[in-house]
């Protein structure tokens, strides 16, 4: 039986990228079927993936979809944070391997830095003022030089952010579940415990995957423990924190400002509290989104399937 590889939820950009050599690599593995839109429901996912041995997905597959696909062997997730969109434990139980991409670290770190600078210097706020006809010269910015950046999590994106922050004159500290003194020395940072990091940092930036262990890590009490007047930057996952508590702390000014690329519900509602808050800078979950990063990401998506069927799985996601 011919192996079937299905991309059930492609978009215009991925259709453009999955051509030429990339498509040829997939076709060497079997029949390739690509659908140019996102299914509206699980039933459509199941219909499109019927008989598939392999799936490429950027939106993830629900447990009911996994249960309805007995032939599925591997999912090559075309993004970051596969565990947020796919139940890795359930996939493993069904003998389905889930792979993910490790690209775009510097790209996301640059976006994080952009949000940090914007939040610190009120750039978006002041831009809106000018467009409304207001020449506001009284709103004070915040220097990042000689401040402390606290990284919650220290994976590839956080590590890529370190030299960018240090170039601005920031001291960098980090919390990770597996602190390594040699790694700290290599990056010129200090590892500390989470409570101390929150109390010491002028900027807190989140860099963790959303897992059962990290969900709600920054609960209301921990958010209240953040140093008064600090910035909070989140390009990771909204599920890491208590969004309602963050909103209240932003309203009170305890947290000076936030730069946010990820939300509890995406897209956010038109009446979401963030919409009316001048101390919140938002982008629509696009921190990874540059041409170079997308090309690298889809190279990895394809190579993950090639490696899997060569008997040497790579970039396997864990729960």
List, in order, residues 6 or more apart from 128 with CB less than 8 Å away: 278
Structure tokens at 216: 């709600």
Catalytically annotated residue among 22, 156, 254, 285:
285
Nearest Cα residue to 172 out of 131, 56, 160: 160
CA–CA separation, 168 vs 163, rounded Å? 9
Contact 119, 255 (CB under 8 A): no
CA–CA separation, 53 vs 30, rounded Å? 9
Nearest Cα residue to 238 out of 258, 255, 252, 253: 258
Nearest Cα residue to 286 out of 107, 103, 64, 160: 107
- Say how many C-beta atoms besides its own lie within 10 A of residue 267's C-beta: 9
Nearest Cα residue to 151 out of 67, 83, 236, 41: 236
Catalytically annotated residue among 187, 222, 237, 256:
237
**111 in catalytic set:** no
**266 in catalytic set:** yes
Nearest Cα residue to 96 out of 68, 60, 59, 71: 71
Structure tokens at 84: 């947020």
CA–CA separation, 147 vs 165, rounded Å? 10
- Grouping H, G, I as helix, E, B as strand and the rest as coil, residue 139 is coil
User: Residue for token digits 């996301």?
Assistant: 108
CA–CA separation, 154 vs 51, rounded Å? 39
- What CA dihedral angle connects 222, 225, 231 and 232, to 10 degrees? 0
Catalytically annotated residue among 19, 21, 132, 266:
266
- Give catalytic residue positions: 237, 266, 285
């Amino acid at each position: 039986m011919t192996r079937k590889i299905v991309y059930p939820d492609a978009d215009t950009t991925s259709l453009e990228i999955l051509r030429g050599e990339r498509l040829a690599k997939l076709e060497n593995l079997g029949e390739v079927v690509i659908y140019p839109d996102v299914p509206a429901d699980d039933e459509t996912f199941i219909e499109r993936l019927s008989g598939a041995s392999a799936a490429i997905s950027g939106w993830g597959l629900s447990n009911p979809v996994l249960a309805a696909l007995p032939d599925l062997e591997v999912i090559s997730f075309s993004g970051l944070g596969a565990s947020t969109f796919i139940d890795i434990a359930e996939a493993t139980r069904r003998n389905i391997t889930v792979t993910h991409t490790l690209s775009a670290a510097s790209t996301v770190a640059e976006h994080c830095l952009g949000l940090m600078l914007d939040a610190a210097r009120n750039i978006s706020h002041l831009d809106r003022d000018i467009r409304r006809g207001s020449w506001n010269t009284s709103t004070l910015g915040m220097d990042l030089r000689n401040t402390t950046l606290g990284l919650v999590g220290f994976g590839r994106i956080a590590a890529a952010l370190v030299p960018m922050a240090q170039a601005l004159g920031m001291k960098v500290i980090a919390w990770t579940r597996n602190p390594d003194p040699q790694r700290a020395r290599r990056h010129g940072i200090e590892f500390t415990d989470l409570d101390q990091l929150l109390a010491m940092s002028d900027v807190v930036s989140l860099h963790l995957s959303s897992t059962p262990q990290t969900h709600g890590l920054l609960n209301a009490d921990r958010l209240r423990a953040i140093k008064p007047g600090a910035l909070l930057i989140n390009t990771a996952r909204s599920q890491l924190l208590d969004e309602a508590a963050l909103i209240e702390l932003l309203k009170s000014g305890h947290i000076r400002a936030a730069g946010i690329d990820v939300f509890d519900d995406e897209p956010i509602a038109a009446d979401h509290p963030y919409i009316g808050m001048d101390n919140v800078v938002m982008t629509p979950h696009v921190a990874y989104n540059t041409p170079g990063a997308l090309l690298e990401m889809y190279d990895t998506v394809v190579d993950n399937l090639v490696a899997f069927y060569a008997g040497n799985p790579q970039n396997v996601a864990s729960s």
